[in-house]
Structure 1
């Protein structure tokens, strides 16, 4: 085969490169449309929130009518995402910033950090300290996407 024949060919020796080019262009267009579509529809913004990583300490008085929970260390937690629930409470406490639910009117601040604490009492928060009853501190993601129990105290 002569060198000049490589550059001057007739229709019989034509390569398939135009077909491959069209296929690649279509593939790129489909991929771009899929990526743009997910963000336009908001699917890219739905990142799962994870529960805060914090350590909590429970203290029960000797006569078992007071239960204090203290944020020991870890992530700062938004109070609006927390609630108390469990069989030791006659009703759930969904507003942990309301002083009426806790001893002495003291409540959690809007941002709960290390050292912050509240005390549940049998008088203020309908605490029932019977054996086997429990109190759970529950975190719920803003918007209600997910929830998890951060810590649990069980009366003995």
Structure 2
């Protein structure tokens, strides 16, 4: 009963002020709850909450070597270690040249396997893995221009 007695002792202006402050606080809490609930529902409806998986490229290590032969620069890519990869999923690309699919006797590229192609001086060379859902560059290099 103490609260009723305290409330009865307050004058009219104080009662109005307490009611306004209490009403304002309740309104702020209601607005915050509505915004939070709308954000959560919106993220699920719009698919923002879904996780996006990147294509998982093989975990490998490759090296690139260059040799300036009589026919021009030759680029040799070597699988140094890591995951084995299906040869038909790998292409060797050099700037504007057509991509060359890795050729391997058993169809699987493993540590120690090498593949090469001719590439012009100054070209950027990329070994590209082609997965089911995307591609990834596994190694990139730049063909040096020989000094004269």
TM-score class normalised by the smaller sequence: 0.5 to 0.7
Change (3 A) 1:130 1:82: closer
Deviations 1:51-104 (A, max 9, x none): 86754222457856572331535xx598698643223x73125xxxxxxx3344
The residue aligned with 1:123 is: none
Choose from 122, 127, 131 the match for 1:132: 122
Partner of 2:139: 151
Q: 1:141: how far off?
A: 8.2
Deviations 1:85-132 (A, max 9, x none): 223x73125xxxxxxx334445446xxxx7374523xxxxxx323432
The 5 A counterparts of 1:41-52 are 41-45=46-50, 47=52, 49=54
Structure-2 residue corresponding to 1:39: 44
Matches within 5 A, 1:41-120: 41-45=46-50, 47=52, 49=54, 54-59=60-65, 67-73=76-82, 83-87=91-95, 90-93=97-100, 101-108=101-108, 115=111, 117-120=113-116
Aligned to 1:98: none
Q: Specify the SS of the correspondent of 2:49.
A: helix
Q: Alpha carbon RMSD of aligned pairs, Å?
A: 4.3
Task: Write 1 or 2 for the structure with the bigger share of strand.
Answer: 2
Distance of 2:99 and 2:130 partners within structure 1: 14
2:62/2:139 contact within 8 Å kept: yes
Alignment partner, residue 6 of structure 1: 6
Shift of 1:24: 0.7
Deviates more, 1:20-29 or 1:54-63: 54-63
Uncovered stretches (5+) of structure 2, i.e. residues with no partner: none
Distance 1:104 1:24, change over 3 A: closer
Aligned length in residues: 133
Q: TM-score, with normalisation over the residues of structure 2?
A: 0.57
Structure 1 gap ranges (5+): 94-100, 121-126
Q: Relative to structure 1, is the Cα distance of residues 134 and 48 closer, same or farther in structure 2, using a 3 angstrom cutoff?
A: same
TM-fit CA distance, 1:138: 3.8
